[in-house]
Structure 1
Amino acid sequence: MNRRQSSRGRCRVSIAGILLAGFLLASGEEIRPVAIGDSYASGNGAGSYSDTLCMRSNDAASEVAAEFFGVDAINASCNGAWTHHLTEPRMISDMRRDISDPEGFGSAARIASLLAQCGVGMDGAQPDFTIEQTESGFTALCSVTLDPQIQALGDATDVFVTIGGNDLGFVSVASACLIQEDEALCRTAVEDAEERLDGILESERVALVALKEINPDARVHLVPYPRLLEGDLTVGSYDVSGEIEDLQGRWETGLETMADDLNETHGGFYYVGAVTDVWEGHGLAGEEPWIHSDGNIAEILHPTVEGWAATGHAYLVHLGTSILNGHP
C-alpha cells in the first residue's frame, strides 16, 4: 500500500471514528475526561494558558475532546512532569522576590502577579505564599507543591495519560541532535534513552495500577507522543531520524502491549494509536509541520494549536471506535 492509499484508509477510519463519537454523544454516554502527564498533555504550545507554571492550555487535546461532548475537562498534567509525579507530590516552584516600592510596600498589581506565579487558585497546587519585612523593604516568598496527579481523578470516566518523555531524556536528545548537532553527544543521548525505556514503561505500569485503585471504573487511555521528525536527519554519520523512529516505535509497541496486559488484569485500558496516525507528515521538516521551531523558548518542540486540535480530534476518533466497539 502506498502512502496516498494509506492516508485515504486513515481518513475513512477517522470519519468513522468521529461518527461513532457522535453516536456516543447522541446516546447520552457520560464522558468526563481528565488529562494527566507532562507538557504533551498539558497543552504547551497551544497558548491560552490558565497558568504559567504547568502551561495548561484551554486548547489542549483533552479540552478539544471535552468541548465536543459539552463538558469540562480536568487538566492535572504539568510541564516538566516525570512518571513518578503521577503518584507523588512535586515541588514546582520556590521563589523569592523583592516587592518593595518607593513607598515601602509592593503595589497591589505586583502582589497579584506574584500570587498568580505562586499558583494561588491553580488546580492541584498547594502554594505557600508569605511576605516578610526586611531592613531594606519587603520580600515575597513562595513555594508551590503539586498534588500527585492521580488525585485529580475524582469520578472521571476517561483518563488520558501522556508521560515519560522527561524520564527518557527528551531534552538531552533534542539539545544534542537538533540544536548542538554534535554526533557523539547525539548518539550517547539516544542510546541512553533506549536503555531507560523499559524502566520507564515499568514505572508507568505501577502508576497506572495505582490510578485504578483510586478510580476502578475509569477508562484509561495511554497516549503516545507525536512523531516529531519527518524526512532524513543525520548528524555526521549518525542516522538520527532512523534511530529516533525505531525508539518511538519500540515505545509505542510497549505502551500498546501494556494497555492490552492491563486491560486483561484490570479492565478499561486502551492505547490511543489514532494520535500517531493523525500526526503523519506534520513533524519537523514535514509538508505541514505542527511543531514550534522558533518563538517562545518554552514552547519549542511542542505542538502548535493546530497540532493540539488534531490530537484532540484523534482522541474523539479513539473514543468513538474503542468505546462503542469495546476494543482496547
Structure 2
Amino acid sequence: MNPARLAAAALAATAALVLAPAAVQALPEPMHYVALGDSYSSGTGTGEYFDEECLRSAKAYPRLLATGLDADLDFAACSGATTNDLLTKQLGSLDAETDLVTLTIGGNDIGWAEAVKACLTPLTNCIDEIEDSEAIVRDELPGLLDGAYGAIENRAPNADVYVLGYPRLFNGERACGALKQPNVVEQTRMNEAADGLAEVVRDKAEEHGFTFVDVRDAFAGHAICDDVAYLNGLAYPTVESYHPNAMGHRNGYYPAVARALDY
C-alpha cells in the first residue's frame, strides 16, 4: 500500500474509533408505553395473574404489545377501575417522555356489571337494567370520558393514545351454559347496548385526537356460546366471568391494536 493510501486508511480507522462511542450513545431509548384502564386491559379473565390485587396478567394485550414493540411498559390498568380510579391512581407514570398509551375505560362507570348480573338471573327480565346502563352511557359517560382523556393529554402531551373498545359479549343466536341465561332477546339488547357504548367511546376519543380501536369485528364469531370463544361465560372465580380469556387477548385485542399501530 502506498504512503498516501496508508495515511488515508489510518485516518479512517481513527475516525471510526472516535465516532463509535458517539454512535452508541445516539441509540434511541426504548419506547415508553403506559397501559391504563380497567379489567379488559389488566387481563382479568386469563386465569394467570402476577398482581392479584388488580388481576394483571402477562397474557393481557399490554404485555403482548410491549413485547412486540420491545417497549418499556408501565402497567397501571386495574380490574374494577372507573374513570375516577384512572384519574386518581393510574396517571403517575405519564409524562412528556411517554410515547404510547393504551386504555379501556368506561365499562365500570355505567352499571354494566349490574345489568349482566340481572340478565343471568333465571325467571327475571333484565331489560330495565340494560336501559339504565344505556341512559348513563348517553347522559353521564361523555363528561366522564372528557375528564379522563383530558388528563391523559395534559400529563402525556407527546404520546400517541389508543382507546380500545369493548366486544359484544354474545352471538345473539342461542342461550348456553347451565342456566341458559341470558335468553336470545336479552343477548340482542346487551349487544345493542355495547354498540351504543362503542359509539360514545369512539366519538369522545376522536374529539381528543386519540385513535379508537374497535374490537367488535375481532371478536365476531368468538362470543360467549360460540364454538371457539374469546370470552368467558359464567366462570369461577366469578370475577373472571364475561371477560376476555387468554385467546381473547392474544387473538382479539392484541392483533387489533397492533394493526392500528401498523407494525
Pick the TM interval, shorter chain. Answer: 0.7 to 0.9
Identity of aligned residues (%): 28
* In structure 2, C-alpha distance between the alignment counterparts of 1:44 and 1:230, rounded to whole Å: 21
Measure, in 2, the Cα distance between the counterparts of 1:236 and 1:53.
Answer: 29
Q: Residue 11 of structure 2 corresponds to which residue in structure 1? A: none
Q: What is the alpha-carbon distance in structure 1 between the residues aligned to residue 184 and residue 258 of structure 2?
A: 38
Change in Cα spacing, 1:233 to 1:160, as seen in structure 2 (3 Å) is: same
Decide whether aligned partners of structure 1 residues 238 and 276 sit closer, same or farther in structure 2, where only a CA change above 3 A counts. closer
Please list, as runs of the form range in 1=range in 2, the aligned pairs for 1:18-29 lying within 5 A after superposition. none
After superposition, the Cα gap between the structure-2 partners of 1:237 and 1:78, relative to the gap in structure 1 and judged at 3 Å, is: closer
| Separation (CA, whole Å) in 1 of partners of 2:232 and 2:123 | 22
Name which of 241, 251, 257 aligns with 2:203: 257
- Is 2:59 the counterpart of 1:59? yes
Q: Which one-letter code corresponds to 1:42 in the other structure?
A: S
The answer (yes or no) to whether the contact 2:174–2:183 under 8 Å persists in 1 is: no
Report the residue type matching 1:43 in the other structure: G
User: Are 1:270 and 2:216 counterparts?
Assistant: no
Does the 8 Å CA contact 1:56/1:78 hold for their aligned counterparts? yes
Distance in 2 (alpha carbons) for counterparts of 1:299 and 1:262: 32
SS at match of 1:85: helix
Within a 5 Å distance, the mapping from 1:84-233 to structure 2 comes to 84-88=84-88, 148-154=89-95, 155-177=97-119, 179-184=120-125, 186-198=126-138, 199-232=140-173
Q: For residues 158 and 182 of structure 1, what CA distance do their matches in structure 2 show?
A: 47
**TM-score normalised per structure 2:** 0.79
Residue 48 of structure 1 and its aligned partner are, at CA, apart by: 3.3
Q: Partner residue of 1:241?
A: 187
Call closer, same or farther: CA 1:31–1:281 in 2, change over 3 Å. Answer: farther
Which residue of structure 2 lines up, in the alignment, with residue 36 of structure 1?
36
Task: Give per-residue Cα distances to partners, 1:138-169, cap 9 Å, x unaligned.
Answer: xxxxxxxxxx2122224321111111111111
The equivalent residue for 1:19 is none
Q: 1:304-319 residue pairs with structure 2 within 5 A? A: 304-310=245-251, 311-319=253-261
Q: Return the alpha-carbon distance in structure 1 between the equivalents of residues 38 and 152 of structure 2.
A: 16
TM superposition score normalised by structure 1: 0.64
Q: Classify 1:176/1:233 alpha carbon distance in 2 versus 1 (closer, same or farther; 3 Å).
A: farther
Instruction: Tell me the CA shift for residue 245 of structure 1.
Output: 1.9
Distance 1:83 1:233 in 2: 34
Helix, strand or coil at the partner of 1:33: strand
Change (3 A) 1:191 1:61: same
Counterpart CA distance in 2 for 1:237 and 1:47 is: 27
Q: 1-side partners of 2:262 and 2:183: how far apart?
A: 44
The structure richer in strand per residue is: 1
Q: Quote the residue 1:73 is aligned against.
A: 73
Alpha-carbon deviations, 1:19-60, whole Å to 9, x = none? xxxxxxxxx896432211111110112233121110011111
Aligned position for 1:22: none
Distance 2:184 2:70 in 1: 48
CA offset digits 1:189-215 (Å, max 9, x no partner): 101101100311320111111111111
Structure 1 distance, partners of 2:101, 2:85, is: 16
Cα gap change, 1:86/1:241 in structure 2, threshold over 3 Å: closer, same or farther?
A: same
Count of residues in Structure 1 that have an aligned counterpart in Structure 2: 227
Deviation sequence 1:295-314 (CA, Å, 0-9, x none): 33221211111111121121
Q: Which has the larger displacement, 236-245 or 281-290?
A: 236-245
Gaps of 5+ in 1: 1-27, 89-147, 264-268, 322-328
Cα deviations across residues 207-244 of structure 1 (Å, max 9, x unaligned)? 11111111111111111112111133587998212212
Q: How far did 1:82 drift?
A: 1.1
How far does the alpha carbon of each residue in 1:248-305 deviate from its partner, in whole angstroms, 9 at most, with x for none?
Answer: 1121122222222212xxxxx11012x2221111111123111223333221211111
**Structure 1 CA distance, aligned partners of 2:159 and 2:142?**
20
Task: Compute the RMSD of aligned alpha carbons.
Answer: 2.2
